Chains A and B, each alone.
Chain A
Amino acid sequence: MTSPPALLELRDVTVRFGGLVALDGVSFDVPQGRVTGVIGPNGAGKTTVFNVICGFVRPDEGRLRWRGEPLTRHRPHDLTRLGIARTLQGLGLFPGLTVVQNVMVGAERHARAGFLSALFALPRSDRDEAALRDRAMRLLTELGVAEVAGRFPGELPYGVQKRVALARALVAEPDLVLLDEPAAGLSAGEIDELAALIRGLRDEVSVVLVEHHMDLVMEVCDDVVVLDFGRLIARGSPDDVRDDPLVVAAYLGDEVDDSAADELTEGGTETHDQPSHGGGVGSEARRA
């Protein structure tokens, strides 16, 4: 797991909101060309990790390194230029823009024409726009949603909107993409497509995803980081993490009553036999 160099490093990151410790000395690496899953029960600090990486939240202690360089005082709008893109839990598509315009906004990083060439409609502004549109269309085609390019997001089914949001993140050609609950609200079939898509991404871009949907996590992640009450309690391959007693305890609570314990042992044996089903932790997590 340590062979590829770390793209992003978190070291002893601590975040406090007043008296609440949202992250408590969290350290982990995001290796290049891999899919890293961040999981944990509700309120474990998963989204805070994303917010720290994105510069929405400054860590009280600890530091971040991006490609070996310290990452301090960066602001959310710097991310795409650094090579980091993020999708949002609530999609955050712009309802007033068409699908292709939404994706073109994501391609802002590649825009060259400035204010004056826009004001006087110089040919370079037109060329710039055409290039951005091409980029956006290419990505929409790749994700299979090119035919809705001229529509507004509000007219589209949720699954298609999710693809558009993903296209908007990927069009910046990031080195790292942060996916915040990519499977939320998708049907089983759509989740399978999403899994294939994320695995396909791995060749070009590293992925970190926060996800409640354990089947997806177990299927697509190379590494999994488990948080509980702001502390990192386990990390490793999906299989390692699934069997980690600390992780099981975190999802089920410490004091396990009889029926839950039964399920736990059942789930445990099941996963040993059929790792690809990703039973155990996943099914419990969804119930919890």
Chain B
Amino acid sequence: MNLQTTNPQPKNARAHAPLDRGWAGVVLRMLRRHTLLRHTLLAVVAVVALAYLTGAVSPYRDLQIAHMAYIVCAAAGLTVLTGLGGQISLGHGAFMAIGAYTTALVLNHWAWPLAAVLLAAVTVTAVAGFIVGVAAARLHGPYLAGATLALAVGLPGLVSYEPVTGLLGGQNGLSVSPSPPPLALGETFPLERWQAWISCLCAVIVMWLLANLTHSRLGRSLPATRDDEIAAALSGIRVARVRIITSVVAAACAGLGGGLLAVVTTLAAPGAFPLTLSLQLVAAVVLGGLGSLAGAVWGSVVLVLVPNWASDPDASAHLPHNVASNLPALIFGTVLIVVTLLFPRGMQGGFRWVGRQVKRRLTERTG
């Protein structure tokens, strides 16, 4: 992240330094006024926290964190598209597939540095998102859902198409061999932690960019086009253009997620992008709280952790095989239903509710 900004904070802060309250007030006001400063600060905090976290846990957990982080990339894009823009996409897994295959192809053929490879994956998926977005801008509700569903079902099947099986590896997919952790980190630095670092850094960048975007004019135009297309157009919003931009952004995020998936699992294969992936992404976004970026994180964490608990051999050993194998889906589904019933605005909505309750209790006690 290149986030070098001229930071006027120290000068102003010193002017108000005598009063602690005033100093804090200035910082708060500054943060409130400067989106860049606020989001960058949050991003830095997130990076530091994640660096500690990945260092403190086992390589197995690191791998899980890496999985969560690339799901976060895709889910965050989707929550902007669906939650804020009101456009349903049941085909987000297809964009992840495009990102993954682009990563695999570029890495295997040209051996670019990883950042450039991922950027290529983002670019290619953004173009795909543009094409889909142009078509989707004319579709609504169930038709849009149907079209994107077809994309999710059809695209992974393309790899079995005879002329491209040589290039894309058919059902076996393409293996990816990302660069090992740099030697500067030490010889024994676990690969999983390195993968988690890459994945998390990308997720933080995605969140940073999307947070910026949703706090801008687009963050207002999007819900406007979702809530009332005609009123939005009459207010001067180019509805189709806004929808296409959102589609490009969401696809680019999914492409990055897919690229990271290929890097973390060292494989780009059609089996990694079933229809259930697309549906799980939608479920994660709903679970976390539609339209909330933080919600995309909670949803992704649950999406990765719950099946993991459920497939724990100790817990499912005494169950019949066909029950045990469906347990992850069952538990995830149950969590989804329970959360949606309790908190229609998802987990983020639930957290906010709890926060408000706590705040009220506190003010009642003091007042």
Chain A interface (Cβ < 8 Å from any Cβ of B): 54, 56, 75-77, 79-81, 85-86, 88, 92-97, 101, 104-106, 108-109, 111, 113, 115, 117-123, 125-126, 128-130, 132, 168, 172
- A80 near B220 (CB under 8 angstroms)? no
Task: List, in ascending order, chain A residues with CB within 8 A of B235's CB.
Answer: 80, 105-106, 108, 168, 172
- A88 near B227 (CB under 8 angstroms)? no
A-contacting residues, B186-234, CB 8 Å: 209, 212-213, 215-218, 220-221, 223-224, 226-228, 230-234
Q: Most chain-A Cβ atoms within 10 A of its Cβ — which of B34, B230, B235, B236? A: B235
Is B239 in the interface zone, CB < 8 Å from A? Answer: yes
Main secondary structure of the interface of B (DSSP, over half): helix
- A172 near B236 (CB under 8 angstroms)? yes
Given A77-B233, A79-B234, A108-B235: A126 and B33 interface contact (C-beta under 8 Å): yes
Per the bound structure, the CA–CA distance linking A228 and B198 in Å amounts to: 69
- A118 near B212 (CB under 8 angstroms)? yes
Cβ distance B224 to chain A, nearest Cβ, rounded Å:
5
Per the bound structure, the CA–CA distance linking A104 and B34 in Å amounts to: 19
Interface size on B, residues (CB 8 A): 30
Is B61 in the interface zone, CB < 8 Å from A? Answer: no
Question: CB-nearest residue of chain B relative to A85?
Answer: B234
Task: List, in ascending order, chain B residues with CB within 8 A of A126's CB.
Answer: 33-36
The contact of B224 among A56, A80, A105, A123, by CB within 8 Å, is: A105
Task: List, in ascending order, chain B residues with CB within 8 A of A113's CB.
Answer: 216-217
Task: List, in ascending order, chain B residues with CB within 8 A of A123's CB.
Answer: 34, 36
Q: Most chain-B Cβ atoms within 10 A of its Cβ — which of A96, A115, A121? A: A121
- B227 near A97 (CB under 8 angstroms)? yes
- B216 near A125 (CB under 8 angstroms)? yes
Per the bound structure, the CA–CA distance linking A80 and B218 in Å amounts to: 18
What are 14 A-B pairs with beta-carbon distances under 8 A? A54-B234, A77-B237, A93-B228, A96-B227, A97-B220, A105-B232, A105-B235, A105-B237, A120-B209, A121-B36, A121-B212, A121-B216, A125-B35, A126-B34
- A121 near B234 (CB under 8 angstroms)? no
The contact of B221 among A56, A75, A81, A108, by CB within 8 Å, is: A108
Cβ distance B213 to chain A, nearest Cβ, rounded Å:
6
Question: CB-nearest residue of chain B relative to A84?
Answer: B234
Task: List, in ascending order, chain A residues with CB within 8 A of B234's CB.
Answer: 54, 76-77, 79-80, 85-86, 88, 92
Task: List, in ascending order, chain A residues with CB within 8 A of B215's CB.
Answer: 121
Given A77-B233, A118-B212, A121-B36: A97 and B224 interface contact (C-beta under 8 Å): yes
Chain B interface (Cβ < 8 Å from any Cβ of A): 33-36, 39, 209, 212-213, 215-218, 220-221, 223-224, 226-228, 230-239, 245
Task: List, in ascending order, chain A residues with CB within 8 A of B213's CB.
Answer: 118-119
Cβ distance B320 to chain A, nearest Cβ, rounded Å:
46
Per the bound structure, the CA–CA distance linking A109 and B237 in Å amounts to: 9
Per the bound structure, the CA–CA distance linking A234 and B235 in Å amounts to: 32
Question: CB-nearest residue of chain B relative to A178?
Answer: B234
Question: CB-nearest residue of chain B relative to A120?
Answer: B212
Question: CB-nearest residue of chain B relative to A153?
Answer: B227
Known contacts A105-B224, A119-B209, A126-B36; can you find 20 more A-B pairs with CB under 8 A?
A76-B230, A79-B234, A80-B235, A80-B236, A92-B234, A94-B232, A96-B223, A105-B235, A108-B235, A109-B236, A117-B216, A118-B212, A119-B212, A121-B35, A121-B212, A121-B215, A123-B34, A125-B212, A126-B33, A126-B34
Task: List, in ascending order, chain B residues with CB within 8 A of A56's CB.
Answer: 230
Task: List, in ascending order, chain B residues with CB within 8 A of A168's CB.
Answer: 235
- A111 near B230 (CB under 8 angstroms)? no
Per the bound structure, the CA–CA distance linking A77 and B227 in Å amounts to: 16
Question: CB-nearest residue of chain A relative to B225?
Answer: A94
- B236 near A88 (CB under 8 angstroms)? no
Cβ distance A108 to chain B, nearest Cβ, rounded Å:
4
